[in-house]
Amino acid sequence: MNNRYMIIGVKHMDIPSMHYGQHCVPDWKWNVPVGCHPGFTLWSVWGGSGQIMLGKNRYQLSVGDVFFINYKKAVNAHQNDHASLDVRYIDFTLRNPDILCDLPEHRHFDQYHFVLELFNRFHLAEERSNLSQMEIWLQALITEYQSKTPTSGGAYSKKINELCRMFQQHPQKQYDISELAQKYSLTTDHFIRIFKQECGITPYAYLQRCRLETAKTLLRMSTLSITDIASACGFSDIYNFSRFFQSKTGFSPRKFRN
């Protein structure tokens, strides 16, 4: 493949520039008037909560939200109090921008970890100044974004999606699976089966995944102590948290941070 071209379906992207960025700072706000950005941004929420307006379209932000921003509308965004947004993004320009004119401006990924991994791979490629790899991962991200299909639309899809968002936004809470099942008038076993049909894993495994991703974000981006991070991820003490984290990543929390 020519290193200066990308394929989306049968179309080529000619990319003169691309750059990875991230932010997670107190009292963050973002305002961009129409036409004041020369290209596009693929913008993803990794943690926290807030709000973004693209023109007149308003979105409440949560983990798993990804936006394709073309700056044909004004952009206004802010984070909620005490919930610093953890955002990763890729700015890029195209010599043939019309090929992306049909992309929607928003997607939500309940199974968002694959998307986050693609952002990480782009970032690593940029650190190594490997342009061909950067283009590969940007292509993969846009292809994943483009091909995202709506949820299955089953009787419980909306409720399961809401539950997933609750796990993502509040991983520190202690959840009783049998009580959650009762909210939907289901037996515990039936509830677990439905959740697994929608998400591919059990509720407990999904919650543990959310706790792990929250821990990684806080270790990377915050100055919180490991004890405080353990509490923010729903662990009663640092020892249980450290055992869990090392079993999933192969690193102790301290070594991962360093």
**pLDDT tens, position by position, 52-105:** 999 999 888 888 899 999 999 999 998 887 667 889 999 999 988 888 888 899
Residue 68 lies in a domain: yes
Last residue of some domain: 115, 147, 179?
147
- The C-alpha angle with vertex 250 and arms to 248 and 252, in degrees rounded to 5, equals 95
94 with 204, same domain: the answer is no
Residue 194 lies in a domain: yes
Q: How many CB atoms lie within 10 A of CB 108?
A: 18
pLDDT of residue 10: 34
Residue 152 lies in a domain: no
What average pLDDT score do residues 151-163 get?
71
- The C-alpha angle with vertex 72 and arms to 69 and 74, in degrees rounded to 5, equals 80
The enclosing domain of 105 has a CATH number of 2.60.120.280
175 with 105, same domain: the answer is no
214 with 119, same domain: the answer is no
pLDDT of residue 152: 47
Q: Which of 44-48, 54-58, 189-193 has the lowest mean pLDDT?
A: 44-48
Task: Please count the structural domains in the chain.
Answer: 2
24 with 109, same domain: the answer is yes
**CB distance 153 to 197 below 8 Å:** no
- Residue 33's SS3 state is coil
The share of the chain scoring above pLDDT 90, in percent, equals 45
The enclosing domain of 209 has a CATH number of 1.10.10.60
92 with 139, same domain: the answer is yes
Separation CA 47–CA 211 (nearest Å): 11
Separation CA 9–CA 29 (nearest Å): 35
32 with 75, same domain: the answer is yes
142 with 48, same domain: the answer is yes
Q: Which of 106, 112, 129, 132 is nearest to 52 (CA)?
A: 106
Q: How many CB atoms lie within 10 A of CB 43?
A: 22
Q: Tell me: pLDDT of 23 over 60.
A: yes
The Cβ-side half-sphere exposure at 53, using a 13 Å CA radius, reads: 10
Token pair of 256 as six digits = 């991962």
**Which structural domain range is residue 51 located in?**
5-147
Quick one: 173 exposed, middle or buried, by C-beta within 10 A (0-12, 13-18, 19+)? exposed
50 with 130, same domain: the answer is yes
